[in-house]
């Protein structure tokens, strides 16, 4: 109930800020579990995608989104909490595993769960190599993956910007990926990587982004080192 109320209250403002076009909404099943695997350009990805999907969808959002003290950060945190988004501490492997296990339980109960295979926001608008958490979810829940491309959110609120600016968003939703060929295989590293790479390829096909064969977190470290060296 709180989820729907929050969407009703926030929806008019969010749609005014960024008129949003959704393509392929029919690919999301009316019932049953599914994994929405999206590229990640902006903090508002976790706001607009749940807003525009008819069914409730839970995303794993980093804990900092829930605890910011600036006015816009507080608005974002309140909305994420009211729509039942999952706060995730990315400080260690154990926290990441706990998030994945919580996601598997939600999927097994028939819910929609959203994940960003890149693991963090793209620092430059390109699409980066996927972390294998999405493969883990597929192998342990049996749920299909629905690839999603968010387009335009980085222009409205790019990384580092604290106040959104008006713009337009397009959400492109692709056909489900079932991965039936992996059902009788072990949930090993090779299987997780194969599934993840296929999911990222499907996202790239929808988004048209340039693919970078490295982790986004590693690229962010590179950029931070370069910035430190010039100061």
Residue 193 has pLDDT above 50, yes or no: yes
Please tell me the predicted confidence (pLDDT) of residue 12: 75
Over residues 26-74, the pLDDT tens digits come to: 999 999 999 999 999 998 898 888 888 888 888 876 666 666 667 666 7
Each residue's pLDDT tens digit, 150-178: 999 999 998 777 788 889 999 999 999 99
Assess whether pLDDT exceeds 80 at residue 90: no
Q: Is 95 in contact with 89 (CB distance < 8 Å)?
A: yes
Please give the residue range of the domain that contains residue 155.
2-230
pLDDT in tens, 93-144: 777 888 899 899 999 999 999 999 999 899 999 999 999 999 999 999 999 9
User: How confident is the model at residue 226, as a pLDDT?
Assistant: 86
pLDDT of residue 14: 80
Q: What is the pTM of this model?
A: 0.87
Number of domains the chain is built from: 1
Per-residue pLDDT for 1 more than 50?
Answer: no
What pLDDT score was predicted for residue 128? 98
User: Distance between CA atoms of 127 and 211, rounded to whole angstroms?
Assistant: 5
Query: What one-character-per-residue DSSP string does the chain give?
Result: -HHHHHHHHHHHHHHHHS-EEEE-GGGS-SSS-EEEEE----TTHHHHHHHHSSS-EEEEEETHHHH--SHHHHHHHHHHHHTT-EEE--SSHHHHHHHHHHHHHHHHTT-EEEE-TTSS--SSS-EEPPPTHHHHHHHHH---EEEEEEESHHHHS-TT--S-----EEEEE---B--GGGTTS---HHHHHHHHHHHHHHHHHHH-PPEESS-HHHHHHHHHHHHHHH-
Question: Could you tell me the CATH number of the domain that includes residue 192?
Answer: 3.40.1130.10
């Amino acid at each position: 109930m709180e989820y729907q109320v929050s969407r009703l209250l926030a929806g008019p403002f969010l749609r005014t800020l960024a008129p949003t076009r959704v393509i392929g909404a029919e690919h999301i099943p009316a019932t049953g579990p599914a994994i929405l695997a999206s590229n990640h350009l902006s903090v508002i990805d976790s706001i607009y995608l749940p807003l525009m999907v008819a069914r409730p969808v839970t995303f794993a959002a980093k804990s900092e989104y829930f605890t910011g003290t600036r006015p816009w950060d507080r608005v974002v945190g309140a909305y994420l909490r009211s729509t039942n988004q999952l706060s995730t501490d990315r400080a260690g492997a154990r926290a990441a595993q706990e998030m994945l296990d919580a996601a598997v339980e939600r999927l097994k109960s028939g819910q929609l769960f959203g994940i960003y295979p890149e693991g963090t926001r793209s620092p430059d608008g390109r699409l980066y190599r996927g972390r294998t958490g999405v493969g883990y979810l597929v192998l342990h829940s049996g749920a299909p993956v629905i690839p999603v491309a968010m387009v335009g959110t980085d222009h409205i609120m790019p990384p580092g910007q604290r106040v959104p600016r008006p713009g337009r968003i397009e959400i492109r939703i692709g056909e489900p990926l079932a991965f039936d060929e992996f059902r009788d295989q072990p949930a090993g590293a090779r299987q997780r990587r194969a599934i993840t790479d296929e999911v990222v390829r499907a996202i790239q096909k929808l988004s048209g982004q340039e693919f970078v064969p490295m982790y986004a977190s590693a690229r962010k470290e590179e950029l931070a080192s370069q910035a430190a060296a010039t100061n």
